[in-house]
Chain A
Amino acid sequence: MDVPNGFDAVLHPPARLQIAAVLAQAQDAEFALLRQVTGTSDSVMSKHLSALAEAGYVALRKANANGRQRTWASLTSSGRRAFSGHVKALETLAASAGLRLAPAP
């Protein structure tokens, strides 16, 4: 089957889609929360965030809290557009099979 319009290879890995899903709802989110939601390690999360930032989908900032430096991420407007288009592409692809979405495990 052809890949539908809007499909975005940068957002294809599930962890990146999950990061974008969280950031689409929150104004910003801390590294630890994103790692917890995606269930990835620090190094894997760093790589995903770097890839999203490199694509211009995520803005990263460092902030000090209780003497420790923490990384905060937010979705850029192009990231928001890409996420929305990618989700629509996934829904189109899923619907074309005539399947219903199964509840998340």
Chain B
Amino acid sequence: MDQAEALAALAAKEKAEEQLAKAANCPPWRHAAFGLLMAGIVASPAFSFAIRTAILIAVLAAIAILVQSDRKRTGMFINGYRRGRTRMVASGLLIVVLLLYGISTYYGLALGDSLTPLLLGLAAFLIATVASVIWERVFVREMCA
């Protein structure tokens, strides 16, 4: 094996990563669907225990459906918490969603205020949808670097 072969092998690897980035392209509805799931979790304290439980079960079921949909659409599944620069985006979003959920729980369950959790749910939808778009851009940039 010589230097030229090593360079050719690395170029082949980079080409595969670029193709992977293209194949991983997410349509807008996919970003919005993720945002909706996060919104459901954050807004759930606005409702009674029975509805809250139903929302959380629906979110879990929807996550499984989204994973299946990704596999069917792209022929693969990429974990949001994969190693790399995207983990910063995923971790940052997790912290923000947990924070919003904590505030929502306080207002919804301790203070009996159902409007604030709904507004926080809307904020979670927007933040998570934008974070999903950013995640994809960071991933593509990393694969095409």
Q: Which residues of A contact B (CB under 8 A)?
A: 1, 3, 7, 12, 14, 17-19, 21-22, 25-30, 32-33, 36-38, 65, 87, 90-91, 93-94, 96-97, 99, 101-105
A-B contact pairs, 25 of them (CB 8 A): A1-B1, A12-B1, A12-B9, A17-B13, A18-B16, A21-B16, A26-B20, A26-B77, A27-B76, A27-B79, A30-B71, A33-B23, A33-B76, A36-B23, A90-B6, A91-B10, A93-B3, A94-B6, A97-B3, A97-B6, A97-B7, A99-B3, A104-B14, A105-B11, A105-B15
* Bound: A18/B13 CA distance, A: 5
Interface membership of B74, Cβ < 8 A: yes
Q: Is the CB of B17 within 8 A of A21?
A: yes
Q: Is the CB of B75 within 8 A of A32?
A: yes
Q: Assuming the A-B contacts A27-B77, A37-B20, A90-B9, are A1 and B2 also in contact, with contact meaning beta carbons closer than 8 angstroms in the complex?
A: yes
Instruction: List B contacts of A87 (CB < 8 A).
Output: 10, 13
Q: Is the CB of A29 within 8 A of B9?
A: no
Chain A's nearest CB lies how many Å from the CB of B125?
A: 26
Chain A's nearest CB lies how many Å from the CB of B31?
A: 19
Closest B residue to A102 using CB positions: B11
Q: Assuming the A-B contacts A25-B17, A26-B20, A93-B3, are A18 and B76 also in contact, with contact meaning beta carbons closer than 8 angstroms in the complex?
A: no
Q: Assuming the A-B contacts A28-B77, A94-B3, A94-B7, are A22 and B16 also in contact, with contact meaning beta carbons closer than 8 angstroms in the complex?
A: yes
Instruction: List A contacts of B82 (CB < 8 A).
Output: 25, 27
Q: Is the CB of A25 within 8 A of B9?
A: no
Q: Assuming the A-B contacts A21-B16, A38-B16, A104-B18, are A29 and B76 also in contact, with contact meaning beta carbons closer than 8 angstroms in the complex?
A: yes
Interface residues of B toward A: which range?
A: 20 to 34
* Bound: A27/B74 CA distance, A: 12
Contact of B72 among A7, A36, A65, A104 (CB under 8 A): A65
Instruction: List B contacts of A25 (CB < 8 A).
Output: 17, 20, 78, 82, 84, 143
Q: Is the CB of A102 within 8 A of B16?
A: no
Closest B residue to A18 using CB positions: B16
* Bound: A90/B12 CA distance, A: 12
Instruction: List A contacts of B14 (CB < 8 A).
Output: 101, 103-104
* Bound: A102/B7 CA distance, A: 8
